[in-house]
Structure 1
């Protein structure tokens, strides 16, 4: 466990690189870019909904 705590960010970077390489080899460049764009848009939308509380007020309004 100490190794994971010490090298947490390089391990995460390596796993991210592996996932990106698998996506590029499996789907190709354009489909991978489109997938990454949609992931970023989803993260931004989730961050916006959390920051503004729109979804919470909508779901709690009965």
Structure 2
């Protein structure tokens, strides 16, 4: 599926469910141009996002920062 088709399909699904969207957004990359991330990269990103959320909800708590160090 090319980017134009994917965008049209997504917009149709959103419209059907009455979910607003911005129709002026650009297309994403073609599936052939994207390389999936490694399991290592995905895991590191999840851990960083978890620590970011934990820090945001626990003001003054430095344990998440210490964990990342």
TM-score of the superposed pair, with normalisation by structure 1: 0.43
Q: Which has the higher contact order (CA 8 A, sep 6+)?
A: 2
TM-score of the superposed pair, with normalisation by structure 2: 0.40
Higher helix fraction (1 or 2)? 1
| Larger CA Rg, structure 1 vs 2 | 2
